[in-house]
Amino acid sequence: MDFIDEIKQYSKRVSNLKDSLSTEEATKTSLIMPFFALLGYDVFNPEEFVPEYTADVGIKKGEKVDYAILSNGEPVILIECKAVKEELKKHDSQLFRYFGTSKAKFAILTNGIVYRFFTDLDEPNKMDEKPFLEVNMLELRETKINELKKFKKSSFNIDLIMGTASQLKFLNEFKNIFSKDIQEPSDELVCYFSNSVYDGKKTSKVIEKFRPLVKTALNQFISETMNDKLKSAFGEDVSAAETSQLVKQDDKKIPNKAEDTSKPEDTTPKIVTTEEELEAYFIIKNILKEVVPMQDIYYKDNENYMAILYLNKVTKWVCRLYFNGSKKYIKIPDANKNEERIDISNVYDIDKCKTKLIDALKRYM
């Protein structure tokens, strides 16, 4: 069974059991331990998955965190658990204290439904106030599942996770801000738009006048953009009601419609940069930062492949990612500029190409 199917199955378990669990211990046993077992950890091996891990905090000795995942005898992930019906926000400070007393690089706060992942992006050895990843098992998104997959025991790599954690954190923040502004545009956003159409002073009365107009304009723009994309995909008109319904559905779920063979095939190249390609790009940037600054590595997406470029020059390509077909593979130029094909099963296999990628980059320096 594929990981995404396993997670979806676990999501059904959470949905079925959540209302019958009333204590923290019941939540641990029924939801949280099975979750980490799904990630490949031996939850019954105290040398790998340690319950009641001692994390001394200042002068308070004997403080314990619910679980710690160990690697080579050292904690790499701390896990603080709460009952399934508890809110997590008020407990962040407790895990914050634990994090600062251990060598763990990641901390997870969970109530069995929501899993919040923290690290120390803002200040070394000090847990960030906000998580870089939050996964709600009752509202699964494919992009979140792809990030969650990095925490599987078989593919766990601190450097790879840290390489994308910063971008992921900011991406989530931007999405949250955008989501709030769609529902209720902020004063700053209203002023930004009104500056282009209104020369007068932006008083509170003026802002309140423009706020509903900005909200309507944003939502209409999104709806119309979705409608245009669906028309392009289906070759027919799609109503606003259908568009609104589709927006609420998972990105991968689209209605089944009969193909209209009476219309000519659209031969316009369609370049779609996928989450998987972007993830691979960040992994490669993280690998190559040993040689050049990360900002010197760019990508250029094409219809058939994504090229990873040095200094954004197409003549200085480090590798090409072919992820659109049934089999994924990478092409890396050798010393004679011949293209070497390397088959991979997932983006995490890219780390095995580290030496070849660095060698390819160095030839342009």
Q: What are phi and psi of 185, to 5 degrees?
A: -55, 135
Is a pLDDT exceeding 50 seen at residue 251? Answer: no
**Nearest C-alpha neighbor of 318 from the set 361, 286, 350, 281:** 361
The DSSP code for 195 is T
Whole-angstrom Cα Rg for the chain: 24
The answer to whether residue 11 sits within a structural domain is: yes
Q: What is the pLDDT of residue 80?
A: 92
Range of the domain at 292: 275-362
The answer to whether residue 124 sits within a structural domain is: yes
Contact status, residue 263 vs residue 334, Cβ threshold 8 Å: no
Residues with Cβ < 8 Å from 110, sequence gap 6 or more? 32, 35, 79, 80, 81, 82, 88, 116
Residues with Cβ < 8 Å from 296, sequence gap 6 or more? 310, 311
Determine if the pTM surpasses 0.85.
no
Q: What is the pLDDT of residue 58?
A: 52
Residue with tokens 């059904």, as numbered in its chain: 12
pLDDT range class, residue 35, cuts 50, 70, 90: very high
Pairing of strands 74-81, 106-110: parallel
Highest mean predicted confidence (pLDDT) among 123-127, 253-257, 301-305, 360-364: 360-364
Q: What is the pLDDT of residue 56?
A: 59
Which is more confident, 31 or 1?
A: 31
Q: What are phi and psi of 316, to 5 degrees?
A: -120, 60
Query: How many CB atoms are closer than 10 A to CB 330?
Result: 24
Q: What is the pLDDT of residue 62?
A: 61
Highest mean predicted confidence (pLDDT) among 108-122, 161-175, 200-214, 234-248: 108-122
CATH number of the domain encompassing residue 38: 3.90.1570.30
Q: What is the pLDDT of residue 91?
A: 54
pLDDT, tens digit, 9 for 90 and up, residues 321-330: 999 888 899 9
Is a pLDDT exceeding 50 seen at residue 152? Answer: yes
**Strand, coil or helix: what is 75?**
strand
Residue with tokens 């009476």, as numbered in its chain: 262
Contact status, residue 98 vs residue 63, Cβ threshold 8 Å: yes
Asked whether residue 171 falls in the same domain as residue 280, the answer is: no
Rounded to an integer, what distance in angstroms lies between the CA atom of residue 289 and that of residue 157? 16
The answer to whether residue 51 sits within a structural domain is: yes
Q: What are phi and psi of 39, to 5 degrees?
A: -75, -5
Contact status, residue 109 vs residue 116, Cβ threshold 8 Å: yes
CA 239 to chain centre: 31
Domain boundary at 177, 198, 216, which? 177
Domain boundary at 177, 197, 230, which? 177
pLDDT, tens digit, 9 for 90 and up, residues 270-281: 677 787 888 888
The answer to whether residue 184 sits within a structural domain is: no
Which is more confident, 36 or 278?
A: 36
Q: What is the pLDDT of residue 59?
A: 46
Structural domain count, the chain: 2
Highest mean predicted confidence (pLDDT) among 107-121, 166-180, 226-240: 107-121
**Nearest C-alpha neighbor of 240 from the set 254, 219, 255:** 219
Q: What average pLDDT does this structure show over 202-208?
A: 85
The answer to whether residue 262 sits within a structural domain is: no
The answer to whether residue 264 sits within a structural domain is: no
pLDDT, tens digit, 9 for 90 and up, residues 295-318: 889 989 888 899 999 998 999 999
Contact status, residue 294 vs residue 285, Cβ threshold 8 Å: yes
**Nearest C-alpha neighbor of 78 from the set 58, 51, 59:** 51
The answer to whether residue 190 sits within a structural domain is: no
Q: What is the pLDDT of residue 206?
A: 85
Residue with tokens 């019941």, as numbered in its chain: 26
Percent of the chain, pLDDT > 70? 84
CATH number of the domain encompassing residue 297: 3.90.930
Residue with tokens 């109530």, as numbered in its chain: 111
- Tokens read off for 299: 């990508």
The answer to whether residue 224 sits within a structural domain is: no
Asked whether residue 172 falls in the same domain as residue 279, the answer is: no
- Tokens read off for 203: 């008083």
Is a pLDDT exceeding 90 seen at residue 294? Answer: no
Q: What is the pLDDT of residue 268?
A: 46
For the ranges 21-35, 186-200, 265-279, 281-295, the lowest mean pLDDT is seen at 265-279
Percent of the chain, pLDDT > 90? 34
Contact status, residue 33 vs residue 43, Cβ threshold 8 Å: yes
Mean pLDDT estimate for the chain: 81
Is a pLDDT exceeding 70 seen at residue 243? Answer: no
